[in-house]
Structures are given as C-alpha cells and as structure tokens.
C-alpha cells in the first residue's frame, strides 16, 4: 500500500471508506463529467431540457439569455459526451436529454441522498459543520 501510514487509526472506518469508493476509471469519468458541467451555459441547458423536454437552439438561447453561438457550442459538447440527443423535423431541429442518462443521474442523486440520510448525516455535529449546516439548521 502506498504512503507511510502503515496502520489505520480507525480500521472499521477505513474499511467502510474503501467499500464505498468508486474505481479509478469511474472517478476519471466522473471528473470529466463534472468538468463538462462546470460551465454555466452547459449546466443551464440541461436544466432547461429537464423542464420542457425539447428545445431548439434559438429557444434555448432565449431561455438562457445567451447567444445562439454559446448554446450551439454547449450543445456540441453535451452531444459529444452523450448527454443530449439531436433530432431534425422538417426545417427545424431540437435537442433533448438522452433519457437513460437523465434517469441514471436522478437515481444516483436519490440513492446517495438516501444513503446519507440513513447514516444520519446532519445529526453528528462534526458532519454538520463539514457540510455547512449551522446551529439551528437541520
């Protein structure tokens, strides 16, 4: 095992942390996804598409208050990552979430929230400080 810390202070906590870790490959994919979503235009595009399912570039630009060029570029990156799909009908085209990914994201957020709640996150004062819950806030 790398490092100089050869014995755990809290062996059970180390084992629990190890069992909950994602793989290095998954962490790399997650880091790429988070980097992609770090742009305000791209993240807002996804939220807009959750609200109304499909929008064309012009309507997305109006909804976000940005240029069509900014939306087009954001959509290009989101399509390349497989997060949204693109469909042409007649003379117009629309973009929407790639449904299975959308559902997986929602399920993952819900599962992680439920798991944290089950562990009592927010009841331990040290955890409350770590995650920003001040006195009097749950």
User: pLDDT higher for 7 or 127?
Assistant: 7
The stretch 72-99 carries a mean pLDDT of 81
The stretch 88-95 carries a mean pLDDT of 74
CA distances from 85 to 42, 82, 99, 101, 102 (A): 14, 7, 9, 11, 12
In angstroms, the CA 16 to CA 131 distance is 20
The closest of 113, 111, 138 to 124, measured between CA atoms, is 138
Over pLDDT 90: what percentage of the chain?
20
Q: What is the pTM of this model?
A: 0.60
Q: What is the pLDDT of residues 93-135, one digit of tens each?
A: 777 766 555 556 656 655 665 665 556 555 455 544 444 444 4
């Amino acid at each position: 095992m790398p490092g100089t810390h050869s014995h755990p202070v809290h062996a059970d906590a180390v084992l629990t942390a190890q069992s909950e870790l994602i793989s290095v490959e998954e962490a790399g994919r997650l880091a790429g996804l988070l980097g992609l979503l770090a742009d305000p235009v791209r993240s807002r595009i996804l939220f807009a598409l959750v609200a109304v399912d499909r929008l064309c570039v012009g309507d997305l630009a109006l909804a976000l208050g940005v240029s069509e060029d900014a939306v087009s570029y954001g959509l290009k990156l989101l399509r390349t990552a497989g997060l949204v799909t693109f469909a042409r009908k007649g003379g117009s085209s629309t973009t929407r979430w790639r449904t299975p990914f959308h559902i997986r994201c929602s399920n993952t957020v819900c599962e992680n929230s439920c798991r944290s709640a089950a562990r009592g996150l927010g009841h331990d004062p040290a955890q409350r400080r770590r995650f920003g819950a001040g006195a009097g806030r749950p």
